[in-house]
Amino acid sequence: MTDTVGSTSNGNIAILISGTGSNLQAFIDAVASGQLQAKISLVISNNPDAAGLQRAADAGIETLCINHREYEHRETFDAALTNALQKHDIDLVILAGFMRILTPVFIEPYLGRLLNIHPSLLPKYPGLHTHQRAIDAGDDEAGVTVHFVTPELDSGPPVIQARVAIGEGDTAVALAARVNVVEHKIYPLAAQWFLQRRLRLTNEGASLDGEALPEGGVQYPQ
């Protein structure tokens, strides 16, 4: 893995979803507005009932469902996912509410080209129920992190974080709604950096414009 800085590439993106596809819509809107210079070539869901599949179809994007329930092992599901993506010339894979723990069978072929978004200020609160955990801990802020995906769950190097204040009497639902607003801004931004060849995963971690990023990544707004 190396650092390379170059011109913007109108790269092909694949987006993996499991639910409504709110982050998918953020990417669709970013491409339409020109904020993200890319083509969403494929949307894949592991859930045949995911509303995001219709959202993608309405935008004229090719869709595919690979139902994880049809596979006995995570590795065989991941192999099917990998095979599907390899039929397309994909530059970047975006996990957008994809509710599957991926194995090295999928991660290794796309290492350095695979981004996820997690609703906490990593390394705080990997896993689930992040907003409630932040409230229960008495934190004064929560947030969201875009990070590279590595085989360790929610442990890949952070790229960019956005922070949201936790108010007195805040609920996880109210907090999540405010976090969603900023996550829909920073995720396409991170993808644009990658497609501009500004963002890279190196042996030392994430780098932007050839400079190593700090533990939490870029803080948004910059």
Looking at residue 2, its pLDDT comes to 36
Q: What pTM value is reported for the model? A: 0.94
Average pLDDT for the chain = 94
Residue (of 37, 102, 38, 107) closest to 71 by Cα position: 102
User: Of residues 68, 73, 88, 118, which has the active-site annotation?
Assistant: 118
For the segment 180-210, what is each residue's pLDDT rounded down to a tens digit? 999 999 999 999 999 999 999 999 999 999 9
What is the rounded distance in angstroms from the CA atom of residue 129 to the CA atom of residue 134? 9
As a whole number, mean pLDDT of residues 146-160 equals 93
**What distance in Å separates the CA atoms of residue 177 and residue 40, rounded to the nearest whole number?**
25
Q: How confident is the model at residue 8 (pLDDT cuts 50, 70, 90)?
A: very low
The percent of the chain in helix, strand and coil, each rounded to the nearest 5, is 35, 25, 40
Q: What is the pLDDT of residue 154?
A: 83
Pairing between strand 211-212 and 205-208?
A: antiparallel
Domains within the chain, CATH numbers bracketed: 11-199 (3.40.50.170)
131 is catalytic: no
Higher pLDDT, 142 or 152: 142
Q: In this structure, are strands 114-118 and 92-95 parallel, antiparallel, or unpaired?
A: parallel
CA 174 to centroid of chain Cα atoms: 22
* pLDDT for position 61: 98
What pLDDT does 153 receive? 81
Alpha helices in 59-171 (DSSP H): 74-86, 104-107, 130-136
Q: Are 141 and 165 in contact (CB under 8 A)?
A: yes
pLDDT tens digits, one per residue of 164-179 = 999 999 999 999 999 9
